[in-house]
Chains A and B, each alone.
Chain A
């Protein structure tokens, strides 16, 4: 199965690889997937507590090219969005943008889960309820 150009681009030049300090109050971390499944994504957001805007986003992913590309794309999309806007990111938008084939849709689902988990981690640190 051939990868799309966009997947190859994100794989070859991944955006925003790295680690934010997970202990900071304005950093939310989402670690999803499992090594046994062959996919683990860690996505982190750093939020401006006054404006609610995501100032920075980082990821690290253990997985196939599509999983790496999905999380790389997610960090690009997160930056500059408010937490509320970020909550709206849908996995199908990732599928469309990266032209993922059906067998790789789970990679986009994982990225969406990572975003939501990171946001909820941030919200909990802020004393807010998690959004389901």
Chain B
């Protein structure tokens, strides 16, 4: 039985796994203690729960529990990593290397660093979304202190060559941070084997609650430090003050444990769904997959349907919750900067849909999505002047458009 609307936007957020909710519930009422209260059992119970969650989280990424700093989510983790390294390593240098398809939390933290006197190099990826290793190498200066490159992209799912990037960072004695928000819990991530120095991730992308995440901060070879961005009680080894969100942290821990046990099978199941959807939708004329199709997350497909506008298309499939690279609002008529920075023409970026599958997606839902997207694309092409012109053989690039 299908229930509507169908949620296919699991890269935006995931529903909570009922097992996660169950684990969290006692920490809202009966076990409500402050994990920093050292003088009574309420505090000890909360602290134990946090310690246990820290182990669950660390295990998933092959870290030591002491290397996990709990935060409010990946945005805060990215801010702490980038601004914190910039401040802590000011004596060593002021240059950061990143990529222009990163999440805004990374890009805007870098912009902040620039305002504070830092220098940032924003690399452009290849048109398939992968960063060019030679470009990283070429951007390094004696002042470079940090390379920040995401693990898996939130819009197109492309997985960057993490081991190769960290090898370059190591060779030049530069720290390596990765925003792994979309990857942790979806693909195997190993901070030891992959030589990751700092890593951001969050609970709500892996069937945990919103409002809690973590920053992995390496403690050995090298020992990494970040300057705290919140002043207060000196929680989390002085790197992140603020009373711990115990229920949230318990939820993050449980979510990590479940992912650890189920990730391998889940990835196979979701990539089958993704491949089936993609194969079917690519039978539509002038439909294109955005991003590299070999190195990518198992659960995301980003497809452009030429000469159909994404937002209009989404209205035609209103029973499906997906997202589009088109953002037709007065604040910004600009389509997705990620797609644009791949070198995609604006019209193709405006024509894109992102499908994100998740733990609770079913084959029946995929069938429904395939049917309805096909119908909507055909309907909208019948009313698209661009499609008509394309069919008449008019080169749309040669048309002088009346921009407004």
A12-31 interface code vs B (CB 8 A; 1 in, 0 out): 00100101000000000001
Binding site for A on B (CB under 8 A): 307-312, 315-316, 326, 328-331, 333, 335, 345-347, 350, 382-388, 396, 401-404
- Contact partner, B402, options A3, A17, A33, Cβ 8 Å: A33
Q: Does A131 contact B (CB under 8 A)?
A: no
Q: Which residues of A contact B383 (CB under 8 A)?
A: 14, 17, 59-61, 68
Inter-chain residue pair count (beta carbon < 8 A) = 106
Q: Does A105 contact B (CB under 8 A)?
A: yes
Q: How far is the CA of A102 from the CA of B321 in the complex (A)?
A: 24
Q: Does A67 contact B (CB under 8 A)?
A: yes
- When the two chains form their complex, are residues B403 and A36 in contact, meaning their CB atoms are under 8 A apart? yes
Interface range on chain A (Cβ under 8 Å from partner): 35 or more
- When the two chains form their complex, are residues A35 and B350 in contact, meaning their CB atoms are under 8 A apart? yes
- When the two chains form their complex, are residues B386 and A62 in contact, meaning their CB atoms are under 8 A apart? yes
- When the two chains form their complex, are residues A40 and B401 in contact, meaning their CB atoms are under 8 A apart? yes
Q: Given A63-B312, A64-B312, decide whether A40 and B385 contact each other with a Cβ distance below 8 A.
A: yes
Q: How far is the CA of A90 from the CA of B206 in the complex (A)?
A: 49
* Nearest neighbor of A117 in chain B, beta-carbon distance: B402
Q: How far is the CA of A98 from the CA of B334 in the complex (A)?
A: 24
- When the two chains form their complex, are residues B382 and A17 in contact, meaning their CB atoms are under 8 A apart? yes
**Measured between C-beta atoms, what is the minimum distance from B148 to chain A in Å?**
30
Q: Which residues of A contact B316 (CB under 8 A)?
A: 11
Stretch in A49-57, A80-88, A106-114, A121-129 touching the partner: A106-114
Q: How far is the CA of A61 from the CA of B307 in the complex (A)?
A: 10
- When the two chains form their complex, are residues B388 and A38 in contact, meaning their CB atoms are under 8 A apart? no
- Contact partner, B315, options A3, A31, A33, A117, Cβ 8 Å: A3
- When the two chains form their complex, are residues A38 and B402 in contact, meaning their CB atoms are under 8 A apart? no
Q: How far is the CA of A40 from the CA of B403 in the complex (A)?
A: 9
- Contact partner, A35, options B329, B330, B331, B386, Cβ 8 Å: B386
- When the two chains form their complex, are residues A40 and B404 in contact, meaning their CB atoms are under 8 A apart? no
- When the two chains form their complex, are residues A32 and B312 in contact, meaning their CB atoms are under 8 A apart? no
Q: Given A38-B350, A39-B309, decide whether A64 and B384 contact each other with a Cβ distance below 8 A.
A: no
- When the two chains form their complex, are residues A31 and B311 in contact, meaning their CB atoms are under 8 A apart? no
- When the two chains form their complex, are residues B386 and A40 in contact, meaning their CB atoms are under 8 A apart? yes
**Measured between C-beta atoms, what is the minimum distance from B394 to chain A in Å?**
11
**Measured between C-beta atoms, what is the minimum distance from A15 to chain B in Å?**
11
**Measured between C-beta atoms, what is the minimum distance from B214 to chain A in Å?**
33
Q: How far is the CA of A105 from the CA of B345 in the complex (A)?
A: 25
- Contact partner, A38, options B315, B335, B382, B387, Cβ 8 Å: B335
- When the two chains form their complex, are residues A37 and B333 in contact, meaning their CB atoms are under 8 A apart? yes
23 contacts between A and B (CB under 8 A): A11-B312, A19-B388, A34-B403, A35-B345, A35-B347, A35-B386, A36-B345, A39-B309, A39-B404, A40-B386, A41-B385, A60-B385, A61-B383, A62-B384, A62-B386, A62-B387, A63-B311, A64-B309, A65-B311, A67-B328, A68-B312, A103-B331, A109-B404
Q: Which residues of A contact B401 (CB under 8 A)?
A: 33-36, 40
Q: Which residues of B contact A67 (CB under 8 A)?
A: 309, 312, 328
- When the two chains form their complex, are residues A32 and B404 in contact, meaning their CB atoms are under 8 A apart? yes
Q: Which residues of B contact A17 (CB under 8 A)?
A: 382-383
**Measured between C-beta atoms, what is the minimum distance from A91 to chain B in Å?**
11
Q: How far is the CA of A83 from the CA of B370 in the complex (A)?
A: 45
Q: Which residues of B contact A60 (CB under 8 A)?
A: 383-385, 388
